[in-house]
Amino acid sequence: MENIIQYFETIPSSTRSLFLGSGFAFFLLLEGGIPLFRFKYKKFKHALLNIFFTMTTLIINLAGASLIFLAADYNKINGTGLLKMLDIPLWLNILLGLLLLDLIGAWLIHWIEHQVKWLWKFHIIHHTDPYIDVTSGLRHHPGESVFRLIFTALAVLVTGASFGVVMMYQTLSAFFAHLTHANIQMPAAIDKPLAAIFVTPHFHKIHHHYTQPHTDRNYGNIFSIWDHVFRTAISVKSMDELSYGIDTHMDPKENANILNLLMIPFQKYRAPLGSKFRS
């Protein structure tokens, strides 16, 4: 286990990029062979739009990587963080580290974004995509990427996870972003039992249904456990019930226009049907 942690502590960015790029290409191929939905859309044009937001996310994460490193280094020097207080085997330390990083750095900020109006206005951009596929995973407004980066650093400080565990989590998180958004069929016999612990493609896509209550459910990133614990998990009888997007921005002139998507957080708020923000 120590060798694994050391590997992730020193993993070259080129190797990590190759791993994630290979995963992206793999799911892209699967979408062509076993699609969940046969979308009638210009896939390349749709991909370019989402890749633009993916690049802004990557740039912000790269710029903020030092913040995460400083948080991990602070814990190492001062012996702070929850995991530093526990005398447990390394394998359990890693597992708890991944679980808690996922809870604070992903599930919690995602849940908050759905509860606070001005944060939701940034998060809407992710929900405006009417064609969820592998390119949709990192479709986030630059402002939202900053919020998520801050919560990731907070998660590192609170948990006391080592830099190696943090890098392992970041790699898994990016992989799951590709997996859970990929437009692929998953046999119910596989997807359902896995969804009790992990976020599966079907589990997450319910979150992208265009209306409530689905929109405010299934917040998980890697582990679905947190949705089951906090009773925010929801299921559907058939995936055919789903229709992607968000009911306030179904017009392609709005959800497929980069400039408009960047400006949505600063436009007059529109309340989704059934939203708690509705006046």
Question: By three-state DSSP, how is residue 53 classified?
Answer: helix
Nearest to 46 by CA among 159, 170, 133: 133
Distance between CA 22 and CA 15 in Å, rounded?
Answer: 11
Q: What is the pLDDT along the chain (279 residues), one digit of tens a residue?
A: 888 888 888 888 888 888 889 999 999 999 999 999 999 999 999 999 999 999 999 899 888 889 999 999 999 999 999 999 999 999 999 999 999 999 999 999 999 999 999 999 999 999 999 999 999 998 999 999 999 999 999 999 999 999 999 999 999 999 999 999 999 999 999 999 999 999 999 999 999 999 999 999 999 999 999 999 999 999 999 999 999 999 999 999 999 999 999 999 999 999 888 777 865
What's 92-144 look like in SS3? HHHHHHHHHHHHHHHHHHHHHHHHCHHHHHHHHHHHCCCCCCHHHCCCCCHHH
The per-residue pLDDT for range 12-44, each reduced to its tens digit, is 888 888 888 999 999 999 999 999 999 999 999
What lies within 8 Å, CB to CB, of 87 at 6+ separation is: none
Distance between CA 171 and CA 158 in Å, rounded?
Answer: 20
Q: Where are the domains of the chain?
A: 17-28+40-266
Burial of 172 (0-12, 13-18, 19+ CB in 10 A): middle
Q: Is the pTM of this model over 0.85?
A: yes
Query: Which residue, chain included where needed, has tokens 């209550």?
Result: 213
At residue 5, the pLDDT reads 87
Q: Name the β-bridge partners of 198.
A: 223
Distance between CA 69 and CA 156 in Å, rounded?
Answer: 9
Question: Contact 49/256 with Cβ under 8 angstroms?
Answer: yes
